[in-house]
Amino acid sequence: MSEVQPAASDSPDPTAAAPASPPRVEPRPVTTVHHGRERTDDYDWLRAKDDPAVPAYLEAENEWTAARTAHLAGLRARIVDEIKSRTLETDLSVPTRVRGHWYYGRSFEGRQYGASCRVPVADPDDWTPPRPAADARPDEPALPGEEVLLDLDALAEGHDFFSLGGSSISPDDRLLAYAVDTVGDERYTVRVLDLDTRELLDDELTGVLGGVTWGDAPDHFYYSTVDDAWRPDKVWRHRLGTAQADDELILHEPDGRFFVGVGRTRSRRYVVAVAGSKTTSEYHLLDARDPDARPVLYAARTEGVEYSLEHVVIGGVDHFLVLHNAHGPEFELGIAPAEPTGVEGWRPLLPHDPAVRLEDVDGFADHVVVQQRSEGRTRVRVLTLGTSGDEPVADDRFVDFPGELASVGVGGNPAWEQPTVRVGMTSLARPSAVYDLDLRTDELHLRKQAPVLGGYDPDDYEEHRLWAPSTDGAQVPISLVVRKGVRVDGAPVPVHLYGYGAYEASMDPYFAVSRLSLLDRGAAFAIAHIRGGGEMGRHWYDDGKLAHKQHTFDDFVAAARHLVDAGWTTPERIVAEGGSAGGLLIGAVANQAPESFGGFVAGVPFVDVLTTMLDPTLPLTVTEYDEWGNPTDDPEAYDRIAAYAPYDNVADRPYPPILAETSLNDTRVLYVEPAKWVARLRERAPHADVLLRTEMAAGHGGVSGRYRAWEERAFTLAWILDRLGLADVEPLA
């Protein structure tokens, strides 16, 4: 008997007859025993990607999904057109200054990827980024003296998938090291381009995670590689003109819970090699000026203590700012000598405050920028450095923006000596804006508001912060946006509810052009800031992982029910969406509270969590023990995960329609997880309307290229609109 009974011919011919029924997979049961618990898995054989039956099954599911959604083809095309009509396709980012050049990215109408460029700095004393002429043509340089560093469309030519993992300019501004992935498995190849000759050097490094970090001279750089489980475990030093096999190992981390990484302080004084787990970190320093430097341990790891370092110079003396949680879960900022020291040498600069989560710190020549959050809101704080280590801070002020749902962050500040701080702001209704705070005058200058064409006005939309009581009394924040006038006399409206709830990742309010296709058809969009995320601080994260993971699911269901109780919507008009760990969320609540929702979208979903966490050879498993638990060694962890794992708890329930989306080359959440989940749903809940869509040339982030990404998102949005009863509604002007 064939393992896969396809719903239709394997032919991709669009004229072929539509399949009459969904594909079925023959079970191949395998029984395992852990801690005396017996578990039978019928579909784990689907992880054998090289078995011809597996891609045949995935293609059959794609055909079934295409047939079941064929009536939405016109809507998908309209959504793509709407996204396109609102997007300024030929554009450039706000230039960022590094040494003697301004660097920026360009996009071009009709091109998937764009280009990275630079122009020389005209006036060393002027930190105002250059702006293109209003009448600049797309086929001409955006700025005088423009140099195209990388034409990304040219690099992507001939590849179904393309991702730039990072690019880095050498200290003499003459060489460009860049990393590319043309498969989607996030294993990058590094090449070095001579910007004077436009010739590639012979150096070619494979199996690299992301980009590289240059030393103080343009003849060597540092990078990290991954092991067989896709864990970055080694940091290397490469000298130009030598083979990768001859590279020098700088740091090797044997503990499977730890990742390694490498970077350089903004002061350019140190190269830092970092080893970190979910709960513990350790920094090693190298003198960036010494091409033969060996790493020096700054503070030995202490289980449960996380810290990071920022180099500053106060009164001519080197110091490190240490952001750490040794004195409390919400972190404090300490100051310490440059010489290696332990926690006892970290003097409080911003002491621990249980109401304020200190998230990040950036050190500059004469100021420090801190990103923090409290009560679910983000803030940016600027400290002016003093003249001595005894009085390290001379001034302390905040950069605030109006609006309860304003999300504020810092980025694009690479220069040690810059007198400005670049700040970004967005919300559910307001497109992202880039500002420069001039520290000399305390003036905030708007450098760019992301353009939204077609007469978009954020004041046509209303934003709300709601609070939902969870099962244990915790108040769960919800951010919501809806077009004004849609909710007539308080009547219920369809709601697209999004959630994540893991890794202390904060799903702060953000703007998306594609979302307007939903809002303008009369739906509301909401984000449930559930436990497991970091929106309310580290304690919010701690209360949604390991033994407390059920809080994540309870919070999401509570958010949906609160939207109903508050009159915003009805259960059958809520479509919930989550991706990756958020896909686990969707799978869990689909089992636990299917009656509270009208549909589910699970993107690259982590739905077979128990199988994954039982196999330490799989990517990321061991590093995830601190997030989910170790079911191999701990029977309590086994039982806890088994109680909520979506795949293990599928039953004959009244599931609302489900759309699962995955990518064949995903290394973070393997395609087999949603494939098995859908197969079991078809077996145990035969009346459920379940669709599986697999991108056959993509990774964890989906397809590459902006036009393909628009088409992919349009597919999902069209399905959501159909479930919300809005597929035939014309968008408001």
What is the full DSSP assignment across 595-659? GG-SEEEEES----HHHHHT-TTSTTTGGGHHHH--TTT-HHHHHHHHHH-TGGG--S--PPPEE
For residue 135, name the pLDDT band (cuts at 50, 70, 90): low
The percent of residues above 70 in pLDDT, for the chain, comes to 96
- For residues 334 and 320, what is the distance between their CA atoms, to the nearest angstrom? 8
Check whether 392 has a pLDDT greater than 80: yes
Q: Which residues of 588-610 are buried (b: 16+ CB within 10 A; e: fewer)?
A: bbbbbbbebbbbbbbbbbbbbbb
> Which of 723, 94, 31 is CA-nearest to residue 447?
94
For residue 95, name the pLDDT band (cuts at 50, 70, 90): very high
Mean pLDDT of all residues in 146-157? 95
- Model confidence pLDDT, tens digit, residues 414-440: 999 999 999 999 999 999 999 999 999
Check whether 271 has a pLDDT greater than 50: yes
Check whether 572 has a pLDDT greater than 70: yes
Q: Which residues of 383-400 are buried (b: 16+ CB within 10 A; e: fewer)?
A: bebeeeeeebbeeeeebe
Check whether 1 has a pLDDT greater than 70: no
Instruction: Give the pLDDT confidence score for residue 16 in this predicted structure.
Output: 57
For residue 702, name the pLDDT band (cuts at 50, 70, 90): low
Please say if 580 is a catalytic residue. Answer: yes
> Which of 641, 633, 669 is CA-nearest to residue 39?
641
- For residues 60 and 6, what is the distance between their CA atoms, to the nearest angstrom? 5
- Model confidence pLDDT, tens digit, residues 577-628: 999 999 999 999 999 999 999 999 999 999 999 999 999 988 789 999 999 9
Identify the active-site residue in 517, 580, 663, 704: 580
Beta carbons of 177 and 195 less than 8 angstroms apart: no
| HSE-CB for 187 with a 13 A CA cutoff | 16
Check whether 15 has a pLDDT greater than 70: no
- Model confidence pLDDT, tens digit, residues 657-671: 999 999 988 777 889
Residue with tokens 């896709």: 230
Beta carbons of 335 and 389 less than 8 angstroms apart: yes
> Which of 223, 318, 317 is CA-nearest to residue 270?
318
Please say if 666 is a catalytic residue. Answer: yes
Terminal Cα-to-Cα distance of the chain (whole angstroms): 56
Phi, psi dihedrals of residue 148, rounded to the nearest 5°:
-80, 115
Check whether 184 has a pLDDT greater than 90: no
Check whether 9 has a pLDDT greater than 60: no
Q: Average model confidence (pLDDT) for the chain?
A: 94
How many other CB atoms sit within 10 Å of the CB of residue 55? 16
More confident of the two residues 2 and 161: 161
pTM over 0.85: yes
Identify the active-site residue in 181, 436, 608, 666: 666
For residue 232, name the pLDDT band (cuts at 50, 70, 90): very high
- Model confidence pLDDT, tens digit, residues 321-348: 999 999 999 999 999 999 998 899 999 9
Rg (CA), the chain: 26
Please say if 427 is a catalytic residue. Answer: no
**312 secondary structure, DSSP code:** E
- Model confidence pLDDT, tens digit, residues 636-646: 999 999 999 99
